[in-house]
Structure formats: C-alpha cells, structure tokens
Amino acid sequence: MSGAETSSPEELREEVERLRAALAAREAQAVDKENQLQRYAADLRETFKEERARAQELRDSYFATVRALTNAVEARDAYTGKHAERVAAYALEIGSACGQEWAGSPEIEFGFLLHDIGKVAVPDSILHKPEPLTPQERELIQLHPVTGWEIVRQVDFLGAASDVVRYHHERWDGTGYPDRLKGEDIPLTARVFAVADTLDALTTTRPYRPSSPLSEARALIEEARGTQFDPDVVDALAGIPDDVFERIRSEIG
C-alpha cells in the first residue's frame, strides 16, 4: 500500500462514525426482531390457551351428550338407578388394578356408561316383565349388544366405546353372547366391565331379590373365575379394598 493511499485522520474519524452508525442500525434491527419474536410467542401462547379451552368445551359437551343418552336408557328402569355411573367408576378402578389407566380415555368411559344403550330397542313389556322370559323374548334381549354397537360405531367420538357395548356379555369360557368370543379374544375393556357390572348388579336391590353384601358378591364372582370371568381381572378385584367401592357408592348413590 503506497503512502498516497493512507487515510487521513479526518477520513478515519468518518469511517469510525459510519461503522458506529451501521452498528447502531444493526442493534436496532435486532431489538425489533426480538420484540417481534416475543409478540409471536405471546400470540402462540394465547392461541394454545384458546385451543385448550375449546378442546375442554368439546370434551364437556361429549360427556353431556353421553350422560343424556345414558339417562335416557336408565330412565326406563327405575330399579337400576345410577347403575351406569357406578359401574363405570367400578370398571375404572378394576382397570387400574389391572394396570390400565383408563381414567384419561373418555372413549372407554363412554363405553362403560353406554353399555346397555341397545336396550332402547327392547319393548318395555319385555324389559319389565316380572315372569320368566320365553326363549324368543330372551333372544330379543340378547340382541342389545349388537343394536348398541350399531348405534355407537356410527359416532366418531365414541371410537373404542363400541368394544364394551358389543362384548360386555361375552364370557371367558366362550359361552357368552353375541359372538361367543373366548378368553383374550374378548377386549380387556369388556372383560373388566363384565366383572364391574356383576359386582354392581349383586350389590343393588332388584325387584326379584335383595342386595348382597360386598363380601358375598366378591365370593360369587370368585366362583365364576375362569368360567364367566377373566381370572386376572377377578384377582385384580380381590386386591381392591372394600372402602374403594363404598366410597363410589356413597358419592354416586
């Protein structure tokens, strides 16, 4: 570099000033960017909060719809009271004792609540008949799992609920209905539900018999271990203390 090209002090000062101005402009840009990013983050948080609230609203309205349907089924049978709600709570407890956390899966709970929805197609004269049923009447009642399954499988948000609805009268030994499924071919939700359903039926007063104490109901279920019921589910039930079921009964009624 020749001496003629050396910058004068004046030129150097100008250069420094120019660089300072450029740096200040860059810093201002960076601050703008940061502010913009913070605004985006705040918008995203707000959108996420709104989405969560909307999802909760949707879940609440699904539950309200399922409750309304459940009440419509139960209103026809004055003796079962809040059977569906109790049995759903029992099934969640027994499922949990089997290592299944279904409490966060509304679809499964919907299945427990709606298990007998197919009974809407059974005439009152048969549903409430005090005398023994004829074989034809029994056949008609035994259609309720399939009728119910046809109702719920058409509703997207009920998804997995249809398993409980269709298979809740299957038996571990393959002699149940409607499909005579056997053992683990029966979905676990339905195997658990079958135990919960019987537990509630036995401990509730019915027109044709008084309610049994919990200990007696447990013994009767134990007798059907491996025939009507999945042995593992019966064992899981045995590990749940009485006060769990008593608490559910006092909370739900």
Contact residues for Fe ion (CB under 5 A)?
116
154-160 contact pairs (CB < 8 A, 24+): 157/62, 157/107, 157/110, 158/66, 158/107, 158/110, 158/111, 158/114, 159/107, 160/105, 160/107, 160/108, 160/111, 160/189
Nearer to Fe ion, 224 or 244 (CB): 224
Q: How far is the CB of 224 from Fe ion (least distance, A)?
A: 16
Q: How far apart are CA 150 and CA 68, in angstroms?
A: 18
CB of 119 to Fe ion, least distance (A): 7
| C-alpha distance from residue 225 to each of 183, 229, 236 (Å) | 12, 5, 11
Closest CB to Fe ion among 73 and 188? 73
Least Å from the CB of residue 144 to Fe ion: 6
Q: Output 116 or 200, the one with its CB closest to Fe ion.
A: 116
Q: Write down the least CB distance from residue 141 to Fe ion, Å.
A: 9
Least distance to Fe ion, CB of residue 168, Å = 6
d(CA 94, CA 198): 13
Identity of the residue, 2 or 89, whose beta carbon is nearer to Fe ion in the bound complex = 89
Closer Cβ to Fe ion, 77 or 173, answer by number: 77
Task: Give the count of beta carbons closer than 10 Å to the beta carbon of residue 153.
Answer: 15
Of 143, 155, 145, the C-alpha closest to 106 is: 155
Handedness of CA 237, 241, 244, 245 (dihedral sign): positive
DSSP label at 122? S
User: Cβ contacts of residue 100 below 8 Å, gap of 6+?
Assistant: 188, 192
**Residue closest to Fe ion (Cβ):** 116
Is 22 or 179 the residue whose CB approaches Fe ion more closely? 179
- Residue bearing tokens 């913009």: 36
Shortest Å distance, C-beta 172 to Fe ion:
17
